[in-house]
Amino acid sequence: MRVALEEAAQAAAEGEVPVGAVVVRGTELLSRAHNRCVNDNDATAHAETLAISEACKRVGSWRLSDCTLYVTLEPCPMCAGAAINARIPRIVYAAKDPRAGACESLFRLSSYPLECQPVCESGLLQEESLALLSTFFSALRKGRRRS
């Protein structure tokens, strides 16, 4: 999760919502990514989808059934769906997302009768993740007031 937080900080530095993600198999870091929606002009360029895509390329398979996705913010429906489609059995996230969280906050996508029902765990380095998000959005709001 520390590496995911590094990615989230990089996202903030680039003007992106500070979310970072990594895919790990055992002790091997397969991929790392951060949000790139703004810079890539791509609504699907969330940290999770980018990390999953890179991990699939690295292992040479679209199935990541022996991997864990670590992410600094609870995945949205698109990202939770991508993890399920990649057969990721475990998702660990730092902070809950009451507006768009699809692991437990808004709804539980993993409880639907799909091909994979990942175990979702929350709270790992939650304070650090929330601090990054809070600082980013506070600065964003202050910037809008000046305009």
- The helix-helix angle for 2-13 and 126-146 (nearest 10°) equals 10
Catalytic-role residue among 7, 14, 28, 48: 48
Annotated catalytic, 48? yes
Name the residues annotated as catalytic.
48
